[in-house]
């Protein structure tokens, strides 16, 4: 079996899907790429037994259909060093000896039997199907991924919740301290449905989607989801269980509203948080008329810092404590110039929203407060 393929095309496709491979696999065959050649089209599959990704590319010429598996690390590292040129693969389908010829030399390596590679699961008859623009999926994942948890006791918190209705689609993630809710009205489902996408496949999509244009087809049943992009297809196991009722934790009546420049606030938080207690990262925000005072102190080392920022605030003076790293994370995942921080009292969650929502968009972040000592 012989085929000729572009070196940079093959290398970039392999790089894109190689993130699926775990550093330690139960099955040795999962350390391999599965190559399948059929009618002039090369498909490469990679899997970690829970997430499977397939990419396909055209070959310049081929003489027969066939399949083989080859060690991922070896072929990735070997192709990385070859500039753009045609690569000629020759595979002995009985001994799995592989010869790769390029301009000034050749590689020889031994592959494995493709039949040992595990099959990806298929969806049930009750699968739900929807199409979304690639940009919308990317935006939703980008905004929610940072808020996912690493909680072995509550696995449902370890992913992004896709809440699909006939009017909109909402991406939600929460670790119990912070919550991100990104709703888009530019896409909708044909029926009410929902699933929880684990963190790893969400991260893989986050890396693939910027290269994609057009629409993404999402199909899912109770156990698995399939994301079909232009050049890639991903099948992944979903997190089973019920996601908490996220709307019930968002406070609706927040009389105290602070409008402030987002980048100025991030800079001030980064400066002041250096002086906060390393154990808690607690910073205090004190709001008074058109001014917010950001302060932190570390009693153990007798260090403290304070900075004042101009803002729009009309109301009674109040103070609230937040974990600075979480607040900076939230502000970094909002793109607007100004943000509104909505507060009820120092013991209830703060709601952070952009001053101007983007078209067909409703973005909301929530952060639980920390107790202030004073």
Torsion of CA 336, 338, 340, 341, to 10 degrees: 100
Task: Identify the bridge partners of residue 364 per DSSP, sorted by sequence position.
Answer: 181
pTM here is 0.89
- Cβ-based burial of 280 (10 A; exposed 0-12, middle 13-18, buried ≥19): middle
C-beta separation of 354 from 363 below 8 A = yes
- Residue 17 Ramachandran class (φ > 0 left, ψ -120 to 50 alpha, else beta): alpha
Question: To which H or E segment does residue 46 belong?
Answer: strand 41-47
| Residue 334: DSSP 8-state | -
Q: 10 Å Cβ neighbour count for 167?
A: 9
| Backbone CA torsion sign across 160, 197, 211, 100 | positive
- Residue 351 tokens, joined: 């709601």
Q: E strands of 282-374, at which residues?
A: 282-288, 291-298, 303-310, 318-323, 338-343, 350-354, 361-367
Q: 10 Å Cβ neighbour count for 233?
A: 18
Would you give per-residue pLDDT tens digits along the chain (374 residues)? 899 999 999 999 999 899 998 888 878 888 899 999 988 899 999 999 899 999 998 888 888 888 899 998 999 998 988 889 999 999 988 898 999 999 989 999 998 888 888 888 888 888 999 999 999 999 999 999 999 998 888 999 999 999 999 999 999 999 999 999 999 999 998 999 999 999 999 999 999 999 888 899 999 999 999 999 988 999 999 999 999 999 999 988 888 999 999 999 999 999 999 999 988 999 999 999 999 999 999 988 889 999 999 999 988 999 999 999 999 999 999 999 999 999 998 999 999 999 998 899 999 999 999 988 76
The sheet that has 41-47: what strands, in order across it?
66-71, 32-38, 41-47, 51-58, 232-237, 224-228, 215-220, 128-133
Ranges of H-type helices in the chain: 7-18, 72-80, 134-145, 199-208, 262-273, 324-332
Question: To which H or E segment does residue 98 belong?
Answer: strand 97-102
Domains of the chain: 2-116 (3.10.150.10), 128-248 (3.10.150.10), 250-367 (3.10.150.10)
| Residue 126: DSSP 8-state | T
Task: Identify the bridge partners of residue 59 per DSSP, sorted by sequence position.
Answer: none
């Amino acid at each position: 079996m012989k085929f000729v393929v572009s070196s940079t095309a093959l290398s970039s496709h392999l790089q894109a899907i190689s993130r699926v491979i775990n550093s330690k696999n139960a099955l040795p065959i999962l350390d391999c790429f599965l190559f399948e050649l059929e009618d002039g089209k090369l498909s490469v599959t990679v899997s970690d037994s829970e997430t499977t990704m397939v990419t396909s590319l055209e070959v310049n010429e081929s003489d027969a259909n066939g399949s083989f598996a080859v060690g991922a690390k070896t072929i990735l590292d070997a192709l990385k060093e070859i500039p753009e040129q045609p690569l000629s693969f020759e595979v002995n389908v009985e001994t799995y000896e592989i010869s790769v010829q390029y301009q000034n030399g050749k590689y020889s390596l031994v592959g494995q039997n493709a039949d040992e590679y595990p099959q990806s699961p298929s969806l049930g008859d009750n699968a739900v199907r929807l199409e979304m623009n690639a940009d919308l999926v990317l935006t939703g994942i980008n905004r929610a991924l940072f808020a996912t948890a690493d909680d072995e006791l509550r696995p449902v918190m370890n992913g992004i919740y896709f809440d699909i209705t006939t009017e909109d689609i909402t991406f939600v993630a929460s670790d119990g301290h912070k919550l991100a809710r990104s709703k888009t009205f530019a896409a909708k489902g044909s029926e009410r449905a929902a699933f929880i996408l684990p963190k790893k496949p969400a991260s893989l999509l986050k890396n693939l989607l910027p290269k994609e244009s057009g629409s993404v087809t999402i199909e899912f049943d109770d156990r698995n989801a399939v994301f079909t992009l232009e050049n890639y297809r991903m099948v992944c196991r979903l997190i089973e269980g019920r996601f908490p009722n996220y709307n019930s934790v968002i406070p609706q009546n927040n009389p105290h509203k602070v409008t402030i420049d987002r980048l100025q606030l991030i800079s001030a938080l980064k400066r002041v948080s250096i002086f906060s207690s390393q154990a808690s990262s607690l910073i205090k925000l004190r709001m008074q008329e058109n001014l917010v005072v950001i302060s932190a102190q570390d009693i153990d080392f007798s260090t403290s810092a304070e900075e004042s920022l101009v803002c729009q605030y009309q109301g009674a003076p109040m103070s609230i404590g937040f974990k600075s790293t979480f607040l900076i994370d939230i502000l970094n995942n909002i793109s607007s110039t100004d943000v509104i921080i909505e507060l009820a009292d120092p013991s209830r969650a703060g709601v952070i929203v952009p001053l101007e929502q983007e078209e067909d968009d409703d973005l909301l972040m929530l952060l639980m407060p920390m107790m202030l000592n004073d």
